[in-house]
Amino acid sequence: MEIQKLYDLDDVEFEDVTIGLVRLAKNIPDHEFFFKINQGNDLKFSRIKDLVFHGVYYDYYFPRFEAYHKFTKTCFTFISNKSSDSKQKKLQTELFTEEENIKFLLNNQTEVEYILHSPEQFTDFSVILLPENLVFPIQDYNLSSEEELYQIIQYYE
């Protein structure tokens, strides 16, 4: 009996991933923001291992916070859009390199504080109650499989 190939990676179409963009109304530290979220939700966000982006001259570290929603059985992850730390790997010898000691995951969205992600295909971010007067409404944003952030999220998933 012959075993059939279940799928061919060349034939698989990668679907877009929907993430949420979170903008803060005022600048507050991570611990205070998540303390306020944890007060008003059944979700309890806690810090997990940082997302690490390896550049040519620097390694960038982005804080991540994760919680599990019991009723919908969904895991939610907040990823900081701006690196909190960077470690220089080698000296820059070129004048006009595009790499600096601070990096944004979404270069075209520098006003975004956090990227909200869930591995579910149809994610409902409305189950997270955000503190009033502290956060603007979550904006849905589609990532295509060609984007670098899509690849990073898939790696950490």
DSSP track, the chain:
-PPPPS--TTTPPPPPEEEEEE-BSS---HHHHHHHHHHTSS---EEEEEEEEE-SSEEEEEEEEEEEETTTTEEEEEEESB-SEEEE-S---SSS-S--S--BSSTT-TT--EEEE-SSSS--GGGSPPPTTTBPPPEEEEE-TTSHHHHHHHHH-
The arithmetic mean of pLDDT across residues 60-82, rounded, is 90
pLDDT score for 122: 67
Overall pTM > 0.85: no
Between 67 and 4, the higher pLDDT residue: 67
| The pLDDT of residue 156 is above 90 | no
Half-sphere exposure of 103 (CA within 13 A, CB side): 23
The arithmetic mean of pLDDT across residues 119-123, rounded, is 74
Q: How confident is the model at residue 4 (pLDDT cuts 50, 70, 90)?
A: very low
On whether the CB atoms of residues 36 and 131 are closer than 8 A, the answer is: yes
pLDDT score for 9: 42
Of 15-19, 41-45, 88-92, 93-97, the one with minimum mean pLDDT is 93-97
| The pLDDT of residue 80 is above 90 | yes
Query: Residue 109: which residues within 8 A CB-CB, separation 6 or more?
Result: 21, 81, 141
